[in-house]
Amino acid sequence: MGERRNVSDAAGVVVLGACATWSLVTATVQDGRPEGVLLAILAVAAGYAAGRIGGALLPVLAPCAAALAGVALTVTLPHLGPDPDIVPPLGQAGATAALLTLSAGAACCAAWAATAPALRLTLRLLAAGIAVTAAALGSTTGFVVCSAVLLCSLAAGRMHHRGLGIAGLALTTALVTGVTWAVAGSAVPDGLAASLEGQLTGHRLDLWHDALDLAQNDAALGVGPGRFGELSTTATSTLLSDGKPHSAPLQQAAEQGVVGVVLLAAAFCWVLFALWRAPRPTPVVLTAGAALTGLAAIAAVGNALSFTTVSVGAGLLAGLATARPIPETPAAAVLLEARPHRAA
């Protein structure tokens, strides 16, 4: 088991290191600004390390505290972004939905880690309450995804082999990303395109079209990290713009080229790989995977990953679900070891 964990940890170091290195390369060549990408990578790594430690020491209390902290941040902070005085047209909906999704996933993970039936029920009610909170805040996406995470968590208790569940989560993420890419490229039927435009807003679709155009103009390196806002016609013509295309894969394609997209996919695959090989029970692993898949879906059509709190939360949940709880030493064994041995 130790060798399996070492492999997944080493893979994570390689993938995150490659993401940081490629952002620096593209920024150097294209005169970009890699600080945002580097901050996101650092946030994920810090959250993952904290999750591994907290999950090992407090397998129930740590995810429960993380869930409550996520809800508290969402409710108390009116703006999750670095510029609270600037509200872009697309708002903070993606970050709100993402943070509540991660909180619901943490609450469900804590429920599966608990042994007392009353405590397990309480934590599941907490997850349901988080979904209701999303609805109360006006986040329809958050309510739907949080509810889906809760249902997936309940279904995970009946799965004995996590590999099938992990494969399903990977397929779901690929489908959502593929549909996003097809919409950006106007490769969907007119009826479906009109329906999606009503849900996604025409402004967001214009940003996606600009991102795809920029990616096609320089597929190898992209335009450079942080430069989408300067080169996008839609972003520059908008009075209040955050300079983002509001889609993580399209932003990677526009700013860091094909390699950036591959590295983003590799980072998500590494998380699923780490969950697959984690020593935690299958329900805990699949619950965390469902929440992180929900985050990936939100990030595919929104700006969630541009918020540091979301990046930290994603790493924290992944770390909690892959940590190995420290076994409790029986009191009798402790007394026996502490007792001085008589000489023969």
Residues 6+ apart with CB under 8 A from 52: 319, 320, 322, 323
Return the number of other C-beta atoms located less than 10 Å from residue 265's C-beta: 17
Q: What is the pLDDT of residue 324?
A: 87
Average of per-residue pLDDT values in the chain: 88
Burial of 8 (0-12, 13-18, 19+ CB in 10 A): middle
User: In this structure, what token pair is assigned to residue 296?
Assistant: 């990936």
Q: Mutual orientation of helices 61-76 and 35-57 as an angle, nearest 10°?
A: 140
Q: What is the mean pLDDT of residues 303-316?
A: 93
Burial of 226 (0-12, 13-18, 19+ CB in 10 A): buried
pLDDT tens per residue, range 260-297: 999 999 999 999 999 999 999 999 999 999 999 999 99
Q: What is the pLDDT of residue 329?
A: 52
pLDDT tens per residue, range 49-88: 999 999 999 999 999 999 999 999 998 875 554 444 444 4
Cα dist from 227 to 58, 125, 234, whole Å:
42, 44, 13
Q: What is the pLDDT of residue 223?
A: 95
Q: Is the pLDDT of residue 42 over 50?
A: yes
| Rounded distance between C-alpha atoms, residue 67 and residue 108, angstroms | 9
Q: What is the pLDDT of residue 235?
A: 85
pLDDT tens per residue, range 1-11: 555 557 889 99
This prediction has a pTM of 0.90
Cα dist from 310 to 33, 79, 224, 316, whole Å:
21, 13, 23, 10
